[in-house]
């Protein structure tokens, strides 16, 4: 019994390791895999945030809306109908998932835009955070911050059934 528990713990630990790539997929977007070099090629935005422990940190990353738009997600006036009810799930290797609506990403005040960060204090992220972290600078609590980001998936829930009117 103890061996089985140790094996399960080992498997869980291996599955929660740092991700060095991010898969992008779902509705509206091209399926692709992004590397650290891919993320580094986009213009970065710097942001100062208060960490969970109360300290202030400087992060640098790419707005999530930019990454999704480059993969084909609609922005601006195109965010209506099915796109307006769509959302993106941001999943970490540990199974943690946060969601953002496409409309929210496109209309979020610039300083509040969720960022896929790859640098903290001018250096790559610490191993505990993984190669990529999702930071939402204006979220009062950090419930939608995701470390070890492994995937971005755009989901479109079914719309209301046509009433024939």
Question: What is the per-residue pLDDT across 90-120, written as a single tens digit (0 to 9) for each?
Answer: 999 999 999 999 998 876 678 899 999 999 9
Give per-residue pLDDT as tens, 9-46: 333 434 456 678 999 999 999 999 999 999 999 999 99
Give me the pLDDT at residue 107, please. Answer: 65
Beta-bridge mates of residue 61:
45, 117
Instruction: Specify burial of residue 151 (Cβ count, 10 A radius: 0-12, 13-18, 19+).
Output: buried
This prediction's pTM: 0.84
Give me the pLDDT at residue 108, please. Answer: 65
Give me the pLDDT at residue 142, please. Answer: 92
Measured distance CA(75)–CA(152) in Å, rounded: 16
């Amino acid at each position: 019994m103890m061996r089985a528990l140790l094996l399960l713990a080992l498997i869980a630990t291996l599955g929660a390791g740092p991700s060095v790539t991010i898969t992008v997929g779902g509705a509206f977007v091209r399926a692709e895999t992004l590397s650290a070099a891919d993320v580094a090629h986009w213009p970065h935005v710097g942001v100062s945030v208060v960490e969970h422990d109360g300290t202030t940190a400087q992060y640098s990353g790419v707005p999530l809306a930019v990454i999704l738009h480059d993969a084909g997600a609609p922005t601006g006036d195109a965010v209506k109908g099915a796109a307006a009810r769509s959302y993106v799930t941001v999943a970490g290797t540990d199974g943690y998932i946060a969601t953002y609506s496409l409309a929210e990403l496109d209309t979020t005040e610039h300083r509040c835009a969720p960022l896929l960060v790859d640098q903290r204090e001018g250096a790559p992220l610490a191993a505990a955070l993984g190669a990529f972290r999702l930071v939402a600078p204006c979220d009062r609590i950090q419930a939608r911050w995701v470390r070890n980001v492994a995937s971005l998936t755009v989901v479109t829930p079914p719309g209301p059934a046509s009433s024939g009117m």
